Structure 1
Amino acid sequence: MKKIKNETALLKKAIEIGEKYAKNRGYKGFSGTDSAKQKIESLYRLLVHDKLVQPLAKDQENQLNMKHKLALWISKQLPEGHELLK
């Protein structure tokens, strides 16, 4: 797995956009007590279910790889020339 430039910032943006996407899909939303780990796994599973990201192999499903998948997903959603893609 190759590290993406600005991966941490992209992940933060992916969580932000992913939460809005989940709400639009009817998810009640995350509470203030939900950890980042819970949000990442929930968003990853929602995006896989909606076929917006390709699922990881069962033996590769871990927090690090889910974070990477979310960062890749959002990097493809952002417009060309966005500050996080530079």
Structure 2
Amino acid sequence: MSKTAKINNEDKLFKKALEVGCKMAEMQGFPLTNKNTSPAIKAKAVYLFLVEVNQITPLPADKLDGKNIKKRLALWIHHALPDDDPLK
């Protein structure tokens, strides 16, 4: 996949990444969010957790914004899902 390629189902992949990332953090004893946490804060928390546990490569500091975090999380879950998953 090229760097500029559009990811199919990016929004759905992003939501799945948040769900899986929060569950992973919770299982390791790091509850990241509660029911009132905004999606932007949840996304950054999941991103930082995944960087810390070496699941994803950190973004450069100048590209650490919501749009790039969303795309990085969507790419992470896209590669983590099995080939027969409907989101792929």
Name the TM-score class by shorter chain: over 0.9
Segments ≥4 residues shifted beyond 2 Å: none
Structure 1 segments unaligned to the other structure (5+ residues): none
CA RMSD in angstroms, aligned pairs only: 1.0
Question: Deviation string for 1:25-63 (max 9, x for gaps)?
Answer: 111342111000011000000101111101101101000
Residue among 63, 66, 73 paired with 1:63: 66
Q: How does 1:3-82 map to 2 (within 5 A)?
A: 3-82=6-85
In 2, the alpha carbon distance for the partners of 1:41 and 1:3 equals: 21
In 2, the alpha carbon distance for the partners of 1:28 and 1:64 equals: 24
Percent of counterpart pairs with the same letter? 36
Q: TM-score, normalised on structure 2?
A: 0.91
Number of paired residues?
85
CA distance 1:29–1:56, change in 2 (3 Å): closer
Aligned partners of 2:47 and 2:69 also within 8 Å: yes
**Structure with higher helix content:** 1
